[in-house]
Amino acid sequence: MTRTDDTPPAWDERTQLTTFLDYARDTARAKCEGVSEENARKALLPGSPLMTLSGLVNHLRWVEYYWFQVVFLGEEDEGPWTDEDPDREMRVAVDFPLEQLLDEYAAQSARYRTLVAENDLDTRAKRPIRDGRHVDLRWILLHLTEETARHNGHLDILREMLDGTTGD
């Protein structure tokens, strides 16, 4: 994978934030390159039966949906999760080809790039977070970068356990 985070094309805050989020997204996709469908669905950690490559990719997709569409834009939450099954997006991922999940994640990322470009970083979310505060778009970008990078570590470990593939 060619690194896209070393030197952003500009040094303004928006470019730096979006460059690192895109790099984290690209890394998640790179961790899945060449994996078999069987391996994409395998759960290797006894304490985390939902943690599969497919499940993590679908989770990343739906986390972005939640933060951009539900929290930032204030839209109704139509995510796959329920009160009874709060991690359902990870469970149902094994029912879809990994390539489809990756394509949907990439298409959604492109839509959110446009959303971010059209809004000021100081714009407050329509919905509050758990503590009642309305975070700004800047905070959402930072949070998604952290969330994606953390799960990239999980993807890295799973991939090495599945077929020995390691990366940077």
Q: What is the pLDDT of residues 130-140, one digit of tens each?
A: 999 999 999 99
Q: What is the pLDDT of residue 131?
A: 97
Alpha carbon 103 to its chain centroid, in Å, reads: 13
Distance CA 60, CA 35 (A): 18
Distance CA 168, CA 157 (A): 12
Backbone angles phi, psi at 7, to 5 degrees: -140, 105
pLDDT tier at 3 (50, 70, 90 boundaries)?
A: low
- Contact (CB, 8 A) for 99 and 93: no
> Residues of the chain with pLDDT > 90: what percent?
88
**DSSP code of residue 90:** H
Average pLDDT of the chain? 94
The position carrying tokens 């930032």 is: 72
The residues facing 82 across adjacent strands are none
Amino acid type, 162: L
Q: pTM of this prediction?
A: 0.93
Amino acid type, 33: E
Which two three-digit tokens encode residue 111? 């839509």
Q: What is the pLDDT of residues 8-28, one digit of tens each?
A: 677 899 999 999 999 999 999
Which domains can be identified in the chain, with CATH numbers? Answer: 13-163 (1.20.120.450)
Backbone angles phi, psi at 100, to 5 degrees: -65, -45
